[in-house]
Structure 1
Amino acid sequence: MKKLISILLFTGSLFICTQTLLSQNQIANSIAKTEVIKGDSVVSSTDDVIKSIGEKLDAPDVSNIISFSKIFWALVFILIGYFIVRFLTRTIEIWSEKSPDRRVKGKAIVPVVKIICWMIISYIIVKGIFNPPLGSLIAFGASVGVAVGFAAQDILKNIFGGFVIIIDRPFKIGDKIEVGSTYGEVLDMSLRSTRVQTADDSIVTLPNGELMNQSISNSNSGETNCQVVAEIYLPITIDTHQVRKIAIEVAKISNYVYLAKPIAVIFVNDIKYDKLCYKMRLKAYVMDIRFEFAFKSELTENVIKELLDCEILSSENSI
C-alpha cells in the first residue's frame, strides 16, 4: 500500500509541475504585452525579446495535454498496474518456494519483472493517454527532473543504486550476503532499497545508495548451498588427528550436510582467557542456505558431545 501511495503522490507532483508551467506561460504572455513608454516614443523591447525567444523555441501549449479525464484514466491504469505487478510477483514467489532450486532462480527475476511491468505501464500512460508532443515532453521532463533532483537527491541516489545492482548483480533475491554488521538472506530488492532477513528473523532495510559504497560478501552466489564454519576452542594438548576424524564424521552424518562439496577441519593457534589453545574450524556445506544456522549449531553441539564421550575432552582440560 505504501508503494501505491508513493505512486499517487508522484503523479500528483507531475500534475502540479504542469500547472506551474501553464502559469509561467500566462505570465510570460502578459509581460510580452507590456509596453515601456519613454516620452513620446513607445519602446517594446521586452515584447520583441520574448517574441523572438518564443519563435526560436516554438514552445508548445500544454493546456490541451492535461485534463481531468486523462488524469483519471492515468490513475486507473496505475491502480491496475499495481495489482498486476503484485499478482505476478506473488505468483513467482509461491512457485519459487516449492523447492530450493526454484527459490533462488525464481526470485532472482522478480526485480526485472517489476521494472519491465512499470516501464510498459508508463509507456501506455504517456503515449496512449496523454500523447504529448515531443517538445512538451522534453520541457515537462526537464522541469520535473530539476524539481525532483533538488528535492529528493537521496531518493534518486538510491534509485540509481538499484539500477546498478540489478545490472551488475552482486547478489540476487535468495542469496546470503554480509554488508557491514548485517548478515542474512535477501528477501526483496526494489529500486530504492534491499531487505535482508537476519539470523534472529529481523528485517533490515538497506538503502541501495549505501550498498554501492560498501563491500558485499555473498555466501552462496545464486546456489542453494553455502559453506558453514563452526569454531570450537580446544586445549593445546589435545590430539588433533583424532579430533579431526571425529569432526569429519559428525559433519558427514548430519541431515543438513551437502556432501557434493568437501569437508575440512583446520587448526590455528589462538589465545583464550590468557591461555594458548587451538581454535578448530570445521568447514562443511549445508544443502539449503535456510538451514545454515541450524547446521552450525548441530556441528558445534555434536562435536563437543563426541569429544566428551570419547574422553578426549573433559571438564578439567576444557577452555
Structure 2
Amino acid sequence: MESLQWDHFISSIFQLVQLLVVYVCIAIEIYVFVAKCGIGYYLLPVVIVVLLLGVSVILLYRSGEVYLLDFSCLRPPLTCRVPTAALLEHLTLIPCFDAKSVAFMSKIITASGIGEETYFPPSLHYIPPFTSHAVCLDEAHMLLFPTLDDLFVKTHVDPRDVDVLVVNCSGFCPAPSLSAMVVSRYVMREDVKSYSLSGMGCSAGAIGVDIARGAMRSGRARYAVVVSTEIVSTGWYPGKDRRKLLLNCLFRMGCSAVMLTNRGEERARSKYKLLRLLRTQRAFDDRAYRSAIREEDAEGITGFSIERDLLRWRPKRCEPTWWSSGHRFYRRRRG
C-alpha cells in the first residue's frame, strides 16, 4: 500500500503544479499587459506552457507502458488426470452415448494429439457425469484460487494493492460473478475495478489484457490481474449432435493468471513488456457469428456447436490483424 500511496501523492503534486503554472502564466500575462512591457515578454508564458506540455506528454507516455510482472498456470491434482485410454473407456460406460457417438469421439480424441497429462474436473469422472450448478462453483474455486495464490506469491504483490481485476470464462456466468468471488476471497479494496467476461471464447484473454491496459492508462491504476479459465463441467454435452460432441473431446480444465503493471520501478523485474495489442471484429458476418455458438439440439439438450466454418473463417478473422501488423513491421524494416 505504501507504493500506491506514494504514486497517488506524486500524481496529486503533479496536478497541483500544473494548476499553479496556469495561474502563474495568467498572472504574468496580466502584469505584462498592465505594465506595457515589450512584446518579447508575452512569449514567456507560452514557453512555460509548452515546456509543461512536453513534460506531461513524456510522463503520460511512460505511464502508458505496460509490463507483465509474472504469470501463473494451474497444475491440477493428479486425481483429475485423464489418460486417453481411460477417457475412451469412460465414454463407453456413459449410457447417454450410443455406439456411433462413442466411435466419433474416440476418433476425434485419438487424432487430436492431446497428450496424456490433461485433466477433467472431478464432476466429469462420475458415470454419468454430474454437472450441477454447485459442482461448477466448486470447479471455479478449484481453478481460480490456487492459481491466484501462486501469482501473488510470485509477484510479492498484496491482493489489496490490485487496482484492476478481469476474469474471463466463456461458458459459466454465475451470480455473484467470478470476479466478485475473487474480490470476496482476497478482501480486495472497495475501489478495485472488477470485470467478468463471458461468451468471448479464445479471444477473451487478449480482450482482458486490453481492458486492463485501458484502465491503467485512463486512471491511477498501477496493478492489474487478468485471469483466464474455462469451467468444463458446464459445457459437457450428453447428446448425439456431433458438432456439440467436439467440446467433450477437445476441452480440458485449466486456468492462468497474469499480473500487469505500468509502474516504471517494476520494469527491472518484469518478464515482458506489452509492445502492441490489436483487436479485430467479425461478428457482423453471419457465417463467422454462427461458426461457434451455444444452442439446443433437436432433443432440447443444450450444447456448444463448433461448425466447420470455424476453420474456414479463422484465417479471414486474422486477415485485418495480419494487414495492420505486417504493414507496421514492413515499414520498420524499410526504415
Q: TM-score range by the shorter chain?
A: under 0.3
Highest RCO, 1 vs 2 (Cα 8 Å, sep ≥ 6): 2
TM-score (norm 2): 0.27
